[in-house]
A and B are shown apart, each in its own frame.
Chain A
Amino acid sequence: MRTRYLIFLLSVVPGATLAASGVTFPASKIDLKPQSVTLPGSGARYEGPGAAVLNTNCLLCHSPAFVDSQPPLPADVWKSEVTKMRDSFGAPIGDAAIPDIVRALVERHGLPAGNAPGGEGEAGASG
Chain B
Amino acid sequence: MTTYSFNRRRLFTMTAYGALGAALPPVARSALAETIDLPFANGERQIAPAGTFPEKAAMIIHRTRPPLLETPWSVLGQHVFTPNESFYVRWHLGDFPTHVDIASYRIRVYGAVDALYEISLKDLAADFDPIDLAAVNQCSGNSRGRVEPRVPGAQWADGAMGNAMWTGVPISQIIARAKPRANASHVAFRSMERLVSMFPDKDIYEKVLPLEKAMDGNVMAAYGMNGEQMPVLNGSPVRLVVPGWYATYWVKMLSEIEVTTHPGEKFWMAGAYKIPDRPNGSIRPGETGVNYVPISAMNPRSFFSNAGTGDRISSGADFVLRGLAFGGNSAVRSVDISLDEGRSWEPASLGKDWGDFSFRQWSFRLPAGRKGKLAVIARVTSALGERQPLQAGWNGGGFMYNPAPRIDIEFV
Contacts and interface: CB of A to CB of B under 8 A. Distances in A.
Interface of A: 2-10, 13-16, 21-28, 30-40, 42-44, 60-63, 65-66, 69-73, 77-78, 81, 88-92, 109, 112, 116-127
B272 A124 contact: yes
B343 interface: no
Interface centre among A24, A31, A117 (most CB of B within 10 A): A117
B92 A126 contact: yes
Interface residues of B, number: 115
A62 B196 CA distance: 10
B55 A13 contact: yes
A26 B125 contact: yes
A122 B56 contact: no
A90 B199 contact: yes
B149 interface: yes
A27 B129 contact: yes
Nearest to B120: A23
B103 interface: yes
Given A6-B14, A21-B103, A39 B153 contact: no
B63 interface: yes
Given A2-B5, A65-B61, A70 B53 contact: no
B58 A7 contact: yes
Contacts of A9: 15, 50, 57-58, 75, 83, 85-86
Given A5-B12, A14-B51, A90 B203 contact: yes
A126 B274 CA distance: 9
Contacts of B86: 9
A35 B60 CA distance: 24
A23 B92 contact: no
Contacts of B47: 7
Contacts of A65: 45-46, 61-64
29 contacts: A3-B8, A4-B3, A4-B24, A7-B57, A14-B50, A16-B54, A16-B55, A21-B103, A25-B167, A28-B227, A35-B237, A39-B54, A63-B63, A66-B68, A70-B152, A70-B155, A71-B40, A72-B150, A77-B151, A89-B203, A118-B396, A120-B153, A121-B396, A122-B396, A123-B274, A124-B267, A124-B397, A126-B268, A127-B272
Interface stretch (B180-188, B284-292, B322-330): B284-292
Given A5-B12, A34-B102, 18 more contacts: A2-B8, A4-B5, A7-B74, A8-B13, A10-B51, A13-B85, A25-B125, A25-B130, A31-B229, A32-B102, A32-B229, A32-B236, A71-B155, A73-B151, A109-B42, A117-B149, A124-B274, A126-B272
Given A28-B130, A32-B102, A35-B99, A7 B72 contact: yes
A107 B145 CA distance: 21
Contacts of B150: 71-73, 112, 116, 118
